[in-house]
Structure 1
Amino acid sequence: MIPVSPSSMNLTNVTDGPLSHWQKALIGFVLTVLILVTVCGNVMVCLAVCFNRRLRSLTNCFIVSLAFTDLLLGLLVVPFSATYEISSHIWPWSLTMCNIYISLDVMLCTASILNLFMISLDRYYAIIAPLRYPTVVTPLRVAVAMVLIWVVSLMVSFLPIHLALNTNGTIQNSFLSNGKQECKLEVNKLYVLVDGLLTFYLPLVVMCITYFRIFKIAREQAKRINNTSGFRPVRNVLPTVKEHKATVTLAAVMGAFIVCWFPYFTVFMYRGLMGAVCETLLTIVMWLGYVNSALNPILYAALNRDFRTAYQRLLKCRKVGPNIRETSLTDEMRHKKLDQAMNMLEDKALELHTMNGKRCSLIQDGSERFLTPAYDSSSFSTIMSYCQSLWLAQVLLRGRHGS
């Protein structure tokens, strides 16, 4: 798995001639927008999880790690790739910097794959074994998993590239006949097989199997939820519904990752095993992979209401910390509030039974007063809201006591 600039997969020569001025301007504008969206979007994800108490969960630790990876890609790799693209695949900097640039590209792509792999395992235990989830997925294990992600990413990027384990006995980067330098990643068959199969295709197969089982069980649970009646049973399944929504969001993120990166790795494997590949195709699949880093924050906002609310508060420069009164209640506090409301409504319903015909006289009196010129619409709304509350209380009371 080598997410490097398009030229990293070039043949032996760079592009045929320099780009015109309007082509450079157009490419530069598009790539600048992509960089800004990538950086700003992933910064928003990190800030949203940091300042929103509802988003502070173990699952979102991996999401922050993924966003941090995409942020580094947008800051340390994509700008150099854009410059390299505009300059017709001529590397203007030193050879050492080129090797660091390629190593960073490989490392960040590997980290993205492993983060998504850990997310899929987290969702698997949250849906398959919700009662065992707190004992299986602990803060310590999450921290160890995140450390392993970055250690493995470093070992498959900087180590083989700087030791020239990925080449066919040639120099990693060389000078062209005109004295200008190109920056590309040399690959041999062993490196392609080990890197592509173990760090992309194998995790991809595991993630697909995991999400298939998750959706199969989620569908069965959804059927049970739809067949559930009564106030309290529905309230008890609200955490399960929340887990399903989180799973759908993360599955969409993984789906976008597959769409963006699978073409690249297919071309990468073909190039390492068979040789020459069309340069235009290489450019397209490479930048399609970079688009994925800008896509994840948009998917969070589109599919997850908590992220969408956090984004809105951040854009309005409103505090989202634990001291704000508008912070959403926890499940226990929400259930306590619901119980209190139910008790109040039951008291109202009991009063309603003792009132006999007084309720009708109240409505009649309110209607008569509404017909007089001195009566205003707000008073009528108040009376009607009160009567509706009494009616709702009576219905709820009948449902609870079977009367």
Structure 2
Amino acid sequence: MTLTNMSLVTLAPRLAPTRLPGVSLGASAGVFDEDVSPVTLDARWSEMARLLLLAAMAIVGSIGNVFLISSILIEDHLKQRGNSLIANVALADLLITGLVFPASAVVILAGMRDTQTACSFHWIVSVLCCLVTVLTFSAIAVENLMRLCLPPSWYEVVTPVKISVLMVLIWAVSATVVGLQTFLPIGPDYCHRKFAGLLPYQMTVVVMLVAVPLAVTLLCFIVILVRVNSAKLPPSFKPPVTFSWDYSLMKTNFLSFICFVIFWTPFGMVLEVKSINTVSPRVLYHLAWFALSKSCLNNFLYCVTNRHFRNAYINLFHYCCCKTTVAVSRRPRAVDASRPTGDVRVHIIPGYNMYSYTSPQRAGQAVSKPTAKRTPGMGAARPQRANGREVYEL
């Protein structure tokens, strides 16, 4: 072996292999090798911290979104046909908090760095829920405009069947667009930060399914605010209480829309066709996680800003944690005073007055009590039963 060959052999182990940015050469290290992962957050954090954060976001966000959907079912004023669109937004958020965050936690628990399957799953669900939310917000804005600013005859056109068909159509269109971008090379590669798609198709999707719905939503909410505020100027304007409730809910919807725009606009800007190849992975994936965190906060926004949702949340909390009924407590009936002693009365909350009137604890009290006197003019007093009937107050 010559000196030149010996030098090459000696220097060979010191040469590091060349790899593309963001792509790992070894399968054991995972598909991605960046500090910030699209699946498992920042690699510089400890695994326990990332796992606890993802678990907290999944649990809190999922419970809040379930509460938001359930509030529309149990609160009387929220049981309106147009409010099912709010539940549709909550359902899209529930898919993120119930599927995306738990999937990341599973990847961390499995000890994997990243996988192409997990990243593709994140991207598909996130884009689907984003498109559904954008289109649903435009439908919410139009429905609020028809409810508050147009004659009642116009709002009668909005039937529950039409709203249900509209929601199914929104999910179908969004799923079709996401499916085409997934199975055909016509969309951006979020996992590897590459773009090899059709520019006209992407521009059409952005304009028709994102830009136009956002503009329609903003325009409708601005028209509602201007018309209602101008109608409030005359001192004689006294709207019914239901109008005030609907207007308050509209403002909550507007705040939810603004929150969505604030969280998702930075990530959408870096996904521009010409900038996706040059943007830093740390910036891209940090903005992606920031956008996904909106799904955990939207339900709390409705609870804080709208009293009907807040009352429903309180009732649901008492029902889930205190085992009480969801319905509001009823007023006592006057016929209870004349109810026969043999009736059985049952209360919902267990633990109160557990002993029957024939138990030893109640027997002594019953004997010591004198017979109640009846007022003059009424019938003869009913004889007290010797054996008594068991009256349970559970």
Normalised by the shorter chain, which TM-score bucket? 0.5 to 0.7
Q: Does 1:33 align with 2:56?
A: yes
CA-to-partner distance for each residue in 1:11-53, whole Å, 9 max, x for gaps?
6433446977853322322222222221010011112222223
The verdict on how the C-alpha distance between 1:117 and 1:86 changes in structure 2, with shifts beyond 3 A counting, is farther
Q: Highest CA radius of gyration, 1 or 2?
A: 2
By how many angstroms is 1:82 displaced?
Answer: 5.4
Match of 1:198 in 2: 208
Which of the numbers 143, 149, 166 marks the counterpart of 2:170?
A: 149
For 1:293, give the aligned amino acid: S
Match of 1:304 in 2: 306
CA contact (8 A) 1:11 1:277 kept: no
Structure with larger RCO (C-alpha < 8 A, sep 6+): 1
Count of residues paired in the alignment = 294
- TM-score (norm. length: structure 2): 0.66
By how many angstroms is 1:214 displaced?
Answer: 1.1
For 2:156, give the aligned amino acid: T
For 2:114, give the aligned amino acid: W
Question: Where do 1:144-223 residues align within 5 Å?
Answer: 144-166=165-187, 188=197, 189-223=199-233
Identity %: 22
Question: Where do 1:1-400 residues align within 5 Å?
Answer: 12-13=22-23, 14-16=32-34, 23-81=46-104, 90-92=113-115, 95=117, 99-166=120-187, 188=197, 189-224=199-234, 227-228=235-236, 234=238, 237-269=240-272, 271-272=273-274, 275-317=277-319, 318-321=324-327, 325=330
By how many angstroms is 1:90 displaced?
Answer: 4.0
Aligned-partner SS, 2:233:
helix
CA-to-partner distance for each residue in 1:264-295, whole Å, 9 max, x for gaps?
111111x5556311112112211111111111
The verdict on how the C-alpha distance between 1:83 and 1:285 changes in structure 2, with shifts beyond 3 A counting, is farther
The verdict on how the C-alpha distance between 1:16 and 1:215 changes in structure 2, with shifts beyond 3 A counting, is same
**Which moved further from structure 2: 97-106 or 239-248?**
97-106
Separation in structure 1 between the aligned mates of residue 267 and residue 288 of structure 2, nearest angstrom: 6
Separation in structure 1 between the aligned mates of residue 156 and residue 93 of structure 2, nearest angstrom: 30
- TM-score (norm. length: structure 1): 0.65
The verdict on how the C-alpha distance between 1:88 and 1:288 changes in structure 2, with shifts beyond 3 A counting, is farther
RMSD, aligned α-carbons: 3.1
The verdict on how the C-alpha distance between 1:187 and 1:108 changes in structure 2, with shifts beyond 3 A counting, is farther
**Bigger helix share:** 1
For 1:76, give the aligned amino acid: L
Listed as ranges, the gaps of 5+ residues in structure 1 are 1-9, 174-181, 327-403
By how many angstroms is 1:146 displaced?
Answer: 0.8
Separation in structure 1 between the aligned mates of residue 201 and residue 208 of structure 2, nearest angstrom: 10
Match of 1:336 in 2: none
By how many angstroms is 1:79 displaced?
Answer: 2.6
**Which moved further from structure 2: 107-116 or 25-34?**
25-34
By how many angstroms is 1:68 displaced?
Answer: 1.1
For 2:73, give the aligned amino acid: C
CA-to-partner distance for each residue in 1:109-130, whole Å, 9 max, x for gaps?
1111111111111111112204
CA contact (8 A) 2:65 2:93 kept: yes
Listed as ranges, the gaps of 5+ residues in structure 2 are 1-19, 24-31, 37-41, 332-394
Separation in structure 2 between the aligned mates of residue 88 and residue 289 of structure 1, nearest angstrom: 25
Aligned-partner SS, 1:79:
helix
CA contact (8 A) 2:34 2:281 kept: no
Separation in structure 2 between the aligned mates of residue 152 and residue 283 of structure 1, nearest angstrom: 26
